[in-house]
Amino acid sequence: MSRLVAQLKGIIADRSARIGVVGLGYVGLPLAVEFAQAGFRVTGIDLDRKKVEGLKAGKSHVEDTPDEVVAPLIKKRALRVQHHYRSCDRFDAILICVPTPLRKTKDPDISYIVSAIEEIARDVRRGQLIILESTTYPGTTEEVLRPRLEASGLRAGKDIFLAFSPERVDPGNRGFVTRNTPKVVGGTTADCTDVAVHLYRQAIEHVHPVSSTHTAEMVKLLENTFRAVNIALVNELALMCERLGLDVWEVIDGASTKPFGFMPFYPGPGIGGHCIPLDPHYLSWKMKTLNYSARFIELASDINGMMPSVVVRKAGQLLNDVRKSVNGSRVLVLGAAYKRDIGDTRESPALDIMRMLDEQRARLAFHDPFHAQLRLEGGKVYKRTPLTAANLERTDLVLLVTDHSEYDYDMIVRHSRLILDTRNATRNVKTGRSRIHRL
Ligand code: SAJ
């Protein structure tokens, strides 16, 4: 082991290592908190001054990392925050957790990674460990981060240490949090992997080393492509069952009795969030540069992407069956978030569904426990409609898009004339089944 590796591992072990976390969103803030709670002095960097000022006041902007966790760490200065990159050379380890969105063309947008690494490279010094956590295509760490760091003349694996470790934060998951979600780590060299694993092992229960940064980058893309493709499979199964006159939910429940070799996914109104709709496109984009077409990813994206239209088509059919048109009908959309029990509406299919219904001139209303109002892409703002028996009874079609646990589904069915349930959320409601239609 080189003297530098031994030295870095030493200050990690005795917690004297200073840690910088770049990006204080739903990934970076919980990560910064874990290392601060493990006894390190941690500095969070986020360019959003409002977030930084809020954190300085002990206020958290991340649902899963509440004020009562953040405030004491800020108070005892175990966690500091800043809205600039000044003096990054004081950190012994820097973890980069910035967004990796898609452009409108569904091409990767790694501009946040590039600006972060260019700021870090300005102050890079011998002995630093830099780890990228943002989901990206295989090769990003070696092709984008490494050259910018080595422009300093320092060599990765010799003078500095470079690794990739995919984030696995599942918003709203109370069972799996940063500390107890296994962490995959791959470095530019064996020494890079070694020091990165050593760092994570101070704050995370299970760390799984892999042989390279490319491998670690690909692990994450497999995880989320697996989900996107399997969700698309059951969405297509729903379309098949509709044509076969079968109940797709019953078919999936039947298949789920198989104790091995099967894992249930469920149809829905489409896919939302910051991971599943986006991450697989990082892989298909990379493969295009290698003249390979990632057909599963493209097909999954097409099928998942058409589900909002399927829902709107079905809503139109149901209204037509009771001699009503979408135009002028009162339609109440229940749930705006992309999945149950959280407020996040990023890429939410509910927004697409509302936009299409609005275009067809439905008399649209919405309810979501996490949102008092909603602004659609075109700028139209909807105030939340109270979820009362009276409002349900005056609605022509109730469209269940997000199956929040707090909804009283018996009450909803009891007072609704017509329901399109895209999540099978009313499966346990015994009465009024004739008013319920599902995907
Ligand atoms: N969805 C379906 N049918 C399913 C499962 C999901 O339509 O059977 C929809 C959801 O409603 C949502 C979208 O797909 O709109 C994505 O759902 P998700 O459960 O994958 O939730 P995410 O986006 O929060 O995914 C996160 C991911 N975590 C990370 O990327 C670190 C994912 O890898 C996790 O597996 C997932 O949480 C989880 O298990 O809950």
pLDDT higher than threshold 80 for residue 418: yes
Atom of ligand 1 nearest to the CA of 227: 20
Q: Closest residue (by CA) to atom 13 of ligand 1?
A: 271
With bands split at pLDDT 50, 70 and 90, how would you rate the model's confidence at 371?
Answer: very high
201 and 310 within one domain:
no
Atom of ligand 1 nearest to the CA of 349: 15
191 and 66 within one domain:
yes
Domain stop point among 211, 230, 247? 211
pLDDT higher than threshold 80 for residue 44: yes
273 Cβ below 6 A of ligand 1: yes
| Dist CA 355 CA 129 (whole Å) | 46
Q: What is the mean pLDDT of residues 414-421?
A: 98
CA of 276 to the centre of ligand 1 (A): 6
Q: What is the pLDDT of residue 119?
A: 98
272 Cβ below 6 A of ligand 1: yes
With bands split at pLDDT 50, 70 and 90, how would you rate the model's confidence at 377?
Answer: confident
- Any domain includes 347: yes
315 and 170 within one domain:
no
171 Cβ below 6 A of ligand 1: yes
How does the average pLDDT of the chain come out, rounded?
A: 97
| Dist CA 289 CA 427 (whole Å) | 46
Domain stop point among 151, 180, 211? 211
Q: What is the mean pLDDT of residues 22-33?
A: 97
pLDDT higher than threshold 90 for residue 93: yes
Ligand 1 pocket test, candidate residues 275, 281, 400, most atoms within 8 A of CB: 275
Domain range for 433:
279-438
94 and 18 within one domain:
yes
pLDDT tens-digit readout, 161-215: 999 999 999 888 889 999 999 999 999 999 999 999 999 999 999 999 999 999 9
Residue 228 identity: A
Residue with tokens 């078919």, as numbered in its chain: 251
CA of 32 to the centre of ligand 1 (A): 24
SS (H, E, C) the chain: CCHHHHHHHHHHHCCCCEEEEECCCCCHHHHHHHHHHCCCEEEEECCCHHHHHHHHCCCCCCCCCCHHHHHHHHHCCCEEEECCCCCHHHCCEEEECCCCCECCCCCECCHHHHHHHHHHHHHCCCCCEEEECCCCCCCHHHHHHHHHHHCCCCCECCCEEEEECCCCCCCCCCCCCCCCCCEEEEECCHHHHHHHHHHHCCCCCCEEEECCHHHHHHHHHHHHHHHHHHHHHHHHHHHHHHHHCCCHHHHHHHHCCCCCCCCCCCCCCCCCCCCCCCHHHHHHHHHHHCCCCCHHHHHHHHHHHHHHHHHHHHHHHHHHHCCCCCCCCEEEEECCCCCCCCCCCCCCHHHHHHHHHHHCCCEEEEEECCECEEECCCCCEEEECCCCHHHHHCCCEEEECCCCCCCCHHHHHHHCCCEEECCCCCCCCCCCHHHEEEC
Which whole-number Å values give the CA distances from 12 to 61, 90, 121, 128, 203, in the listed order? Answer: 29, 14, 22, 12, 11
Residue with tokens 């020494």, as numbered in its chain: 191
Q: What is the mean pLDDT of residues 144-153?
A: 98
Atom of ligand 1 nearest to the CA of 307: 7
146 and 19 within one domain:
yes
With bands split at pLDDT 50, 70 and 90, how would you rate the model's confidence at 98?
Answer: very high
pLDDT higher than threshold 80 for residue 275: yes
pLDDT cut 90: percent of the chain above it: 96
Q: Closest residue (by CA) to atom 34 of ligand 1?
A: 170
62 Cβ below 6 A of ligand 1: no
Going by C-alpha positions, the residue among 327, 347, 331 that lies closest to residue 339 is 347
Please say whether the beta carbons of 407 and 388 come within 8 A.
no
Which whole-number Å values give the CA distances from 415 to 334, 363, 380, in the listed order? Answer: 14, 19, 28
Q: Closest residue (by CA) to atom 14 of ligand 1?
A: 271
Q: What is the mean pLDDT of residues 138-142?
A: 98
Going by C-alpha positions, the residue among 198, 199, 217, 195 that lies closest to residue 141 is 217
Residue 376 identity: L
- Any domain includes 267: no
CA of 111 to the centre of ligand 1 (A): 25
With bands split at pLDDT 50, 70 and 90, how would you rate the model's confidence at 378?
Answer: confident
Please say whether the beta carbons of 286 and 139 come within 8 A.
yes
Which residues are part of the catalytic machinery? 275
pLDDT higher than threshold 90 for residue 104: no
Q: What is the mean pLDDT of residues 74-80?
A: 97
Q: Closest residue (by CA) to atom 39 of ligand 1?
A: 170
433 and 325 within one domain:
yes
324 and 207 within one domain:
no
Report the number of distinct structural domains present in the chain. 2
pTM (predicted TM-score): 0.94
206 and 57 within one domain:
yes
303 Cβ below 6 A of ligand 1: no
- Any domain includes 182: yes
Q: Closest residue (by CA) to atom 29 of ligand 1?
A: 168
271 Cβ below 6 A of ligand 1: yes
Going by C-alpha positions, the residue among 264, 257, 199 that lies closest to residue 40 is 199
Which segment of 70-79, 291-300, 326-335, 428-437 scores lowest on mean pLDDT? 428-437
205 and 63 within one domain:
yes
Q: What is the pLDDT of residue 172?
A: 83
Which segment of 306-310, 391-395, 417-421, 433-437 scores lowest on mean pLDDT? 433-437
Give the list of residues 6+ apart from residue 73 with CB closer than 8 angstroms, or none.
33, 36, 37, 79
Half-sphere exposure of 144 (CA within 13 A, CB side): 22
220 Cβ below 6 A of ligand 1: no
- Any domain includes 255: no
Q: What is the pLDDT of residue 257?
A: 98
pLDDT higher than threshold 80 for residue 235: yes
Q: What is the pLDDT of residue 1?
A: 77
224 Cβ below 6 A of ligand 1: yes
Token digits of residue 258: 């198989």
- Report the CATH number at residue 40: 3.40.50.720
289 and 174 within one domain:
no
Q: Closest residue (by CA) to atom 1 of ligand 1?
A: 271
Domain stop point among 196, 211, 226? 211
pLDDT tens-digit readout, 355-366: 999 999 999 999
- Any domain includes 273: no
